[in-house]
Structure 1
Amino acid sequence: MIKMFETIAAISTPIGEGGIGIVRISGDESFDILEKIFKPKSKKNVKDLKHNSVNYGHIYDENEIVDEVLVMVMKAPKSYTKEDVIEINCHGGYLITEKILEIVLKNGAKLADAGEFTRRAFLNGRIDLTQAEAVIDLIKSKSEKNLTLSVEQLRGDLKEKVGELKKKLLDVAAHVNVVIDYPEEGIDEPLPKELWGNLEEVHSECDILIKSYDKGKKIKEGIKTSIIGRPNVGKSSILNSLLKEERAIVTHIPGTTRDSIEEIININGISLILVDTAGIRKTEDIVENIGVEKSKTKIKESDLVLFVLDNSEELTKEDYDIYKYIDDKKCLGIINKIDKSKKIDISKLDKINNWIEISAINGLNIDKLEESIYKFILEDDIKNSSEKLILTNIRHKSSLEKVKDSIDNIFNTLNMEMPMDLIAIDLREALDSLSEITGEISSEDLLDHVFKNFCVGK
């Protein structure tokens, strides 16, 4: 275990009023510091407190009682950081937690940097880098699916997969090294069939994981969904119905929405970043025209487009103009206002294959709309996300792309009957790229990049 010479401390609960506040300490001097500031009600010596125990007592600043607390004791190496860890559970509130942290720092601890507790967990070998990254994803999860993927990664699923890929490449590397180092053995076959198969399997599995990143990114960041249509077809009413609150202004006057309104909703465990755009039409209103141009941009940027039409009116030139912007692969058609007499004919809008009829103002079929949204873009892509490994981190994707490139080079070398030394070089690069994922090979810059997104205290 790597020894960290400075003992660190930080507040691990959010700033503000709350039931409790937690000040966390980690390092070799944790018990020395605690002994100076904490008196257990049991009157036990602080250094005799049992591992994984909760101890009632008081925090003192010299001879003055500061707060009544519960102190959790976790002794190395059975702690989050694999160091001695103390967690002081005090009364919640900005002043009291800051006061206790100040006392801890005054008695020998250093204020922790962002993510420093988790960084120590990584450096001390408790977790690998993929699991460290899963911690921040877990904290920032905005949907049930993202939470599931983060838990799987924290559990070590990606670490295990990387280990399997490395073993297959190491088997190939062992054979290649024998061929290079012992030419007198007269091995005629550069790479036996089963080892060629190893390379193909690693290449294929890397490819599958790389392709899963787009799904993973959607799960992690949410599905960008734009509601588009000409003015007054009911886009804002649909937004309000999905949100189940009056977020957007709804009137009979065309052009009420001048700018994009953005909200997040959750459908079957997936976050949708839902945007109610300004109605797309030709207008002399400068402000509204800016909103119209932004709407066109939103369409291009969206993962899903909800194209809204008015059931009670015939299709207009504006409807057809908007239709031209649509990519059918990411569009769900919505016919709104079915509580009114039908005048619309969508037979000519043949590039949209998925339609749902609703009345947003009355809440009719909104549940079916949610189901249609999920089935259209989410179910096929993400339904089985718990059944297979999915990447959510661009760093992991980049490393696997380098592995694939190295294996492509190896295939080219073998096919062209070039020197085996070249294969050894590419195998080493592939193995290094896999090691970068788990952090077995890492630089200070990489670690700084990973842990800078953590809060202080984690």
Structure 2
Amino acid sequence: MEETIAAIATPLGEGGVGMIRISGENTRQVMEEVFRPAGAQNLVPRRMTYGHIVDAGARGEAPQVIDEVLGVFMPAPATYTCEDVGEIYCHGGQIPLRRTLALILRAGARMAEPGEFTKRAFLNGRIDLAQAEAVMDLVSARADKAFDVALDQLEGVFSEKIRSIRAMLVDILVDLTVNIDYPDEDIEEITYEKLTEGLAGVKGELDRLLAGADSGRILKEGLRVAIVGKPNVGKSSLMNALLRESRAIVTDIPGTTRDTIEEQLSIGGVPVVLTDTAGIRETEDQIESIGIERSKKSFNEADLVIHVVDGSRPLSAEDREIMDHLEPGRSLVVINKQDLEQVVSFDEIRRMLPDIRVLPLSAREMNGLMELEGFVQEQAGLGHSRTEDPLVTNIRHRDLLEKAAQSIADAQAVTDLQEPLEIIEIDVNSAYGALGEILGEETAGDILDEVFSRFCLGK
């Protein structure tokens, strides 16, 4: 018998409502011990019931009302975990939630482990492992597009794609097995030409999924954008303009920003991790030097580098040195301070950097900001629709897809050499197993424990 578990399912802190979730065979018994419906009501399944949490106390002590609540009991199997589930909605302060949970644990439940409710949903067959991981992605989504993709995955879009590829592999494995084990039977003989065609189809499907892995990473982790440039060109002003708040200190004194400042925001539904860097220049100031080294690190690790130059002053050696390190495809030059008389022209920089986008802008007056935000959205490459292949946002999924793709590539290589079918079957089986691990159909217990340990309590 599975133990009955309980946990607070809402964030700790002050709020209007907090919820405690219970799951397991003794859920109703536990609820009836701590929850007293008001009046002549009973705990009717799937009906929200008004009442109180009551501490019956030790023998001889008067019962004590802990909180005024709503409670609902939902019998298995039509629940989140496929077990009996109860939910109690308390006032959202830490004390009523903590006291109510303590009574529930005293009544026979135990404290749930992180992710244990979702783990039970997986183990009881309601969702597969990829869908279970999507639950956490849904909770932690930092932008609309990330939420939409996580919702698709929870609904099984990604899982169905994996199952369809596994079905293609099953067809190949059946042909291989029949020809290996029953060569003398009256069956259709598999040809290397047919194998080549089947493996190419699988490889194409895997490659298409992997092609979206970078966009998937951006959705989950955010597009890393570094704002770089020499001191006093308006980097901090640009960051404040994008954030729509005064986050970074702005002065006319060069070198005000002496360390990297990182903020998260959403631009057009795209999660962005924005880094304002210290001005890159030669300096003997030890503290500023450390900040400059961090700026260079942010430069190298960024998905997009925005190089800000002061359009009201001639380009300096420092400007040109930074431009020498800009890479087409992940760089943008912003000619800032367009509200002042211009010395640096758009055409001048285009001649220097013909393969890099150049954008005039005034961070102070926020002119050109919409064009910049549009470029950031383009750089994320997230013009994704639900009719296309699902995006791969989970690093575990990506690694297993890469493993499967490599196994198929190995199978293609030995097929081209017309090696024995037994050798080809090993590689195809390896790919089939890797895709099964994504769904949790061929996953060891310690891997499951690691996956669900990343969840929050109550989920």
Q: How does 1:300-315 map to 2 (within 5 A)?
A: 300-315=300-315
Q: 2:282 maps to which residue?
A: 282
| Mapping for residues 129-208 of structure 1, pairs under 5 Å | 129-185=129-185, 189-191=189-191, 196-208=196-208
Deviates more, 1:340-349 or 1:99-108: 340-349
Measured in 2, the distance between the counterparts of 1:107 and 1:171 equals 53
Matches within 5 A, 1:199-348: 199-344=199-344, 345-348=348-351
The AA in structure 2 aligned to 1:157 is V
Q: Residue 170 and residue 114 in structure 1: after superposition, are their counterparts in 2 closer, same or farther (change >3 A)?
A: same
> What SS does structure 2 have at the residue aligned with 1:328?
coil
Match of 1:18 among 3, 15, 19: 15
Matches within 5 A, 1:40-55: 40-41=37-38, 43-46=40-43, 49-50=44-45, 52-55=46-49
For 2:60, the equivalent position in structure 1 comes to none
Note if contact 2:196-2:416 (Cα within 8 Å) is conserved in structure 1. no
C-alpha separation between the residues in 1 aligned to 2:260 and 2:104? Answer: 48
Specify the SS of the correspondent of 1:329: coil
User: Structure 1's 18 and 402: CA in aligned 2 closer, same or farther, altered over 3 A?
Assistant: same
Percent of aligned pairs with the same amino acid: 44
Task: Tell me how far 1:133 sits from its aligned partner.
Answer: 0.3
Q: Is the 8 A contact 1:331 1:352 kept in 2?
A: no
Q: Is the 1:332–1:373 contact (alpha carbons within 8 Å) kept by the matching residues of 2? A: no
- Distance across 2 between alignment mates of 1:373 and 1:434: 33
| Counterpart position of 2:436 | 435
Distance 1:423 1:230 in 2: 58
The residue identity in structure 1 corresponding to 2:418 is E
Query: C-alpha offsets along residues 311-367 of structure 1, whole Å, 9 cap, x if unaligned?
Result: 111111111111122222211110011122221132542244311111111222222
Q: Does 1:416 align with 2:417?
A: yes
CA distance in 2, matches of 1:352, 1:258: 31
Cα deviation for residue 243 of structure 1 reads 1.1
Note closer, same or farther for the CA distance 1:247–1:44 as it changes in structure 2 (3 Å cut).
Answer: closer
1:78 counterpart = 2:78: yes
Which secondary structure does the structure 2 equivalent of 1:164 belong to?
Answer: helix
AA in 2 matched with 1:235: K
Contact 1:328 1:351 in 2 (8 A): no
Does the CA-based 8 Å contact 2:192-2:418 persist in structure 1? no
Query: Which digits, 9 at most, give the CA deviation of each residue in 1:253-275, with x for residues without a partner?
Result: 11111111111221110021111
**Maintained 8 Å contact 1:337/1:360:** yes
Q: Pick from 39, 43, 57 the counterpart of residue 51 of structure 2.
A: 57
Q: Which structure 1 residue ranges, 5 or more long, are not aligned?
A: none
Q: Secondary structure at 2:242's aligned position in 1?
A: helix
Contact 1:356 1:372 in 2 (8 A): no
| C-alpha deviation, 1:279, in angstroms | 0.9
Distance 2:169 2:36 in 1: 56
Aligned counterparts of 2:124 and 2:151: Cα–Cα separation in 1: 21
Correspondent of 1:29 among 20, 26, 29: 26
* DSSP-derived class of the 1:363 partner: coil
Compute the RMSD of aligned alpha carbons: 1.7
Q: Deviations over 1:14-73 (max 9, x none)?
A: 111111121111000001112222222253554xx22x2111112221132222211112
- Correspondence for 1:402: 403
Output the amino acid matched with 2:288. Answer: E
Distance 2:223 2:24 in 1: 42
Q: Distance in 2 between matches of 1:288 and 1:182?
A: 74
Deviation string, structure 1 residues 405-441 (Cα, Å, up to 9, x no partner): 2222322332223222222222222211111000011
Give the 3-state SS of the residue equivalent to 2:48 in structure 1: strand
SS of 1:403 mapped into structure 2? helix
Cα deviation, 1:142-180, whole Å, max 9, x if unaligned, reads: 011111110010000111011101111111111111111
1:193 Cα deviation from its structure 2 partner? 5.1
Q: CA deviation at 1:209?
A: 1.1
Counterpart-to-counterpart distance in 2, 1:65 and 1:173: 64
Question: What secondary structure, in the 3-state scheme, does the structure 2 residue paired with 1:87 have?
Answer: strand
Q: AA paired with 2:358?
A: W
SS in 1 for 2:393: coil
Q: Distance in 2 between matches of 1:231 and 1:295?
A: 12
Aligned to 1:391: 392
Letter in 1 for 2:51: G
Question: TM-score, structure 1 length as denominator?
Answer: 0.94
**Structure 1 residue aligned with 2:104:** 104
Counterpart CA distance in 1 for 2:309 and 2:72 is 60
* Cα offsets for 1:380-429 (capped at 9, x unmatched): x2112543311011111111122222222322332223222222222222
* 2:2 corresponds to 1:5: yes
The reply to whether residue 69 of structure 1 matches residue 69 of structure 2 is yes
SS of 2:349's partner is: coil
The number of aligned residues is 449
SS in 2 for 1:133: helix
1:363 pairs with 2:363: no
For residues 342 and 55 of structure 2, what CA distance do their matches in structure 1 show? Answer: 77
| TM-score computed with the length of structure 2 as normaliser | 0.94
The AA in structure 1 aligned to 2:235 is: K
The one-letter amino acid of 2:83's match is E
The reply to whether residue 114 of structure 1 matches residue 111 of structure 2 is no
Judge conservation of contact 1:333–1:352 (CA < 8 Å) in 2: no
Secondary structure of the corresponding residue to residue 66 of structure 2: strand
- Structure 1, 412-421 or 138-147: larger mean CA deviation: 412-421
